[in-house]
Structure 1
């Protein structure tokens, strides 16, 4: 897979999100290695991800990445349906908005920017709801 479509906050986040990820398809086993590979090594090694069961229910429980295996944990919490949490061991966590693969380019670009704003105070669900209301058109 090509490099991941990813936008991270340029500094410490002051909101619920640390950025956004726009996968090309809904096959986590194909997309996750590209996402992990696009992170700066200084962010630590991703050892576990937590994803919404509604979106990623058919995903395997472990996924191979370069030089390690990543545990996949499903969450059934409604407020985490459109997020992915990347656990980087002792370095910390990244909470990212997951933009649906079929989202139009213009809307996805705005979502990537909004979620990566270090002063964004909106949850993943609220950002996506704003996009549905036309903020991306």
Structure 2
């Protein structure tokens, strides 16, 4: 299975996101095991993920990962519409922007970088809106506290 297209914040995140994930398709049961397998095992076992029903309308309630089952919680909260929350029990959690599988490579690369910037102040929906504007949102990104990395 190919490695997931994933970028995490190197140090502690102070923003709404801890990185971004660009799945190859919208079948969570196919994509999630690779995502989970790429995370550092020292953070513990992923026990649950929370996904937005808008992005993952057919998400199963459980997904098999190597050696365990992951509970999938679906939510209608707007903040979760383009994100996935990965919970590792009591050890930690990540809030990741989910880049749509059909996103052009240039926009996806920008989103992977922006969402993993520890100074990113923007939510998943806001970052996607900037990407959809043709990346002309650089001034908005910087005015809202981003470092300006592309």
TM-score if structure 1 supplies the norm length?
A: 0.97
The yes-or-no answer on 1:124 pairing with 2:124 is: yes
How far apart are the structure 1 equivalents of 2:122 and 2:44?
Answer: 26
Count residues with an aligned counterpart. 137
How far apart are the structure 2 equivalents of 1:120 and 1:78?
Answer: 19
Structure 2 match to 1:55: 55
The yes-or-no answer on 1:96 pairing with 2:99 is: no
Structure 2 match to 1:133: 133
Structure 2 match to 1:113: 113
More helix by share: 1
Q: 1:50 Cα shift?
A: 0.2
Higher relative contact order (CA 8 A, sep 6+): 1
Structure 1 match to 2:23: 23
The yes-or-no answer on 1:37 pairing with 2:37 is: yes
Detail structure 1 runs of 4+ shifted over 4 Å in the superposition.
none
Secondary structure (helix, strand or coil) at the match of 1:129 reads helix
The CA RMSD over aligned residues, in Å, is: 1.2
Secondary structure (helix, strand or coil) at the match of 2:54 reads helix
How far apart are the structure 2 equivalents of 1:119 and 1:36?
Answer: 25
Q: Which range moved further: 14-23 or 54-63?
A: 54-63
The yes-or-no answer on 1:14 pairing with 2:14 is: yes
Structure 1 match to 2:4: 4
Secondary structure (helix, strand or coil) at the match of 1:86 reads strand
How far apart are the structure 2 equivalents of 1:67 and 1:41?
Answer: 12
Structure 1 match to 2:141: none
Secondary structure (helix, strand or coil) at the match of 2:72 reads strand
Q: Which range moved further: 6-15 or 35-44?
A: 35-44
Secondary structure (helix, strand or coil) at the match of 1:70 reads strand
Q: What stretches of structure 2 of length at least 5 have no aligned partner?
A: 137-150
How far apart are the structure 2 equivalents of 1:131 and 1:25?
Answer: 19
